[in-house]
Amino acid sequence: MQDGTYRPRDYALLFALAAIWGSSFLFIKIAVAALPPMTLVAARLWIAALGMLLYLFASGGGLPRELAAWRHFAAIAVLGNLLPFFLISWGELQIDSGMAAILMSTMPLVTLTLAHAFNADDRITPAKLLGLLVGFGGIVALVGPGVIAGLGREVVAQLAVAAAAWCYGIANVYTRWSTINSLPAATTGSGVLICAAAMALPFSLAIDRPWTLSPGAGPVLALITLALLCTSVAYLILFRLLATTRATFVSNINYLVPVFGVFWGAVLLGESVGLDALAALALILLGIGVAEASARRARRRNAAREVARSVLGSVPSEERE
């Protein structure tokens, strides 16, 4: 990101991450039919951690030795992995993916609020807020008003998925704020996944007794895909974006994920894509465009002020007078 402008590569990575995570709800639905939520989370994290470590060491990287870095990894593991993975997997046992999309799409609004409080370079502006609300309207149009009517029927499950959205928002802002933001994406991803996997394992062993389970080939393949593609590869992209862009930019992912969910449903399951879905996509992209255009203008104004201050500061006071 230079002069407050995101590069085409940033948008390409954002859309790639949305495409990957857009498929995750499908794989969760397949896997959770045979694997209890806590065991699904633990297995997903262990496989993802091993995959990430193989990539890290193969690329010549390594893990940090400083205790401070591991404290940050542990915090992000809880907020960005352990809690939301479990809450979404458990919630999807009772609510459909359309409702989950609505609830998860509140994450950019959460991130916007938190980023304003904790990241000095990521403030709320009216146009940015308008853009996020337009994007949220696109999500509502995508899943249909009928889903909104279902709000409150499965209150606990809906609150669980909404809480997962909050966890993701807090984790993104925390990562952007913390010192590990300067580490390579593979290093951060490996550290976070190791901590999350270590935390999840005791709960899985105590609650689900996974050695008694006998899932079929379909759920196992879905689990492996969730771990390696939707977690390991996705985390390489996510932490790269958080290091080079802003938390509110990355939070736009939750507006795009449901769009790709519809796309994968059409490609893999033969579901139809109507004009309403295309209209919803247009609204979502418009919302992102409005929010980012506003943010870009604000960053350029701030940069111009800094230049002006530095120029004035270099001029002797008698000359300014």
Q: In this predicted model, what pLDDT tens digit does every residue of 278-291 receive, in sequence order? A: 666 666 666 666 66
Q: Residue 121: which pLDDT band, with cuts at 50, 70 and 90?
A: low
What does the alpha-carbon distance between residue 224 and residue 273 come to, in Å, rounded to a whole number?
A: 28
What pLDDT sits at residue 17?
93
What pLDDT sits at residue 251?
74
Residue 2: strand, helix, or coil:
strand
Which range of 147-151, 230-234, 267-271, 314-318 scores highest in mean pLDDT? It is 230-234
Between 304 and 3, the more confident residue is 304
Least confident among 52-61, 86-95, 105-114, 164-173: 105-114
pLDDT beyond 90 at 198: yes
The vertex-7 CA angle with 291 and 104, nearest 5°, equals: 45
Q: What are phi and psi of 2, to 5 degrees?
A: -125, 135
Residues forming a β-bridge with 2 = 5
What pLDDT sits at residue 58?
94
Q: Residue 309: which pLDDT band, with cuts at 50, 70 and 90?
A: low
What does the alpha-carbon distance between residue 96 and residue 28 come to, in Å, rounded to a whole number?
A: 12
pLDDT in tens, 230-254: 999 999 999 989 888 877 778 777 7
pLDDT in tens, 166-186: 888 888 888 877 878 788 999
What pLDDT sits at residue 158?
75
What does the alpha-carbon distance between residue 286 and residue 35 come to, in Å, rounded to a whole number?
A: 39
Q: Which of 219, 176, 179 is nearest to 79 (CA)?
A: 176
What pLDDT sits at residue 119?
54
pLDDT beyond 70 at 4: no
How deeply is 321 buried, as exposed, middle or buried, from its count of CB atoms within 10 A (0-12, 13-18, 19+)? exposed
The sign of the torsion formed by the CA atoms of 240, 50, 25, 78 equals negative
State mean pLDDT over 197-212.
91
pLDDT beyond 90 at 57: yes
The sign of the torsion formed by the CA atoms of 180, 186, 192, 198 equals negative
Q: Residue 2: which pLDDT band, with cuts at 50, 70 and 90?
A: very low
pLDDT beyond 90 at 72: yes
How far, in whole angstroms, is CA 233 from its chain's centroid? 13
pTM score: 0.72
What pLDDT sits at residue 304?
56
pLDDT beyond 60 at 148: no
What does the alpha-carbon distance between residue 183 and residue 64 come to, in Å, rounded to a whole number?
A: 9
> Percent of the chain having pLDDT more than 90?
26
